[in-house]
Structure 1
Amino acid sequence: MRAAIAANTHTHDRLRASAANVILTAGAQNGVFAASLCLLQAGDEVNRPRAPCI
């Protein structure tokens, strides 16, 4: 599946990617969490927008 996504990215977006550059997660929240683990360190400050009131 990762190879197919990489090929689709190259075909439609003209970006070079290999299957090794593709990660699949079980939803957007898991993807954001995985990215934050890669980019942030203990003690980093993170600002996030407040959820709109309903």
Structure 2
Amino acid sequence: MNQEQTNITTGKQIRHLRTQLGMTQEELAGELNVTRQALSNWEREVSQS
């Protein structure tokens, strides 16, 4: 599996698990000590180059 495929899978998994836990992006971001925007970028698989 190449890096791009891993990133795509990871973003989808984060969103899936978050919604299964009934958490908002804001709630999960707080638990992870990151901004909501950072979490959103991960879920949407937006890279920060």
Question: What is the TM-score with the length of structure 1 in the denominator?
Answer: 0.31
The structure with more helix, counted as a fraction of residues: 2
Larger radius of gyration: 1
Q: TM-score, normalised by structure 2?
A: 0.33
Structure of greater relative contact order (alpha carbons < 8 Å, 6+ residues apart): 2
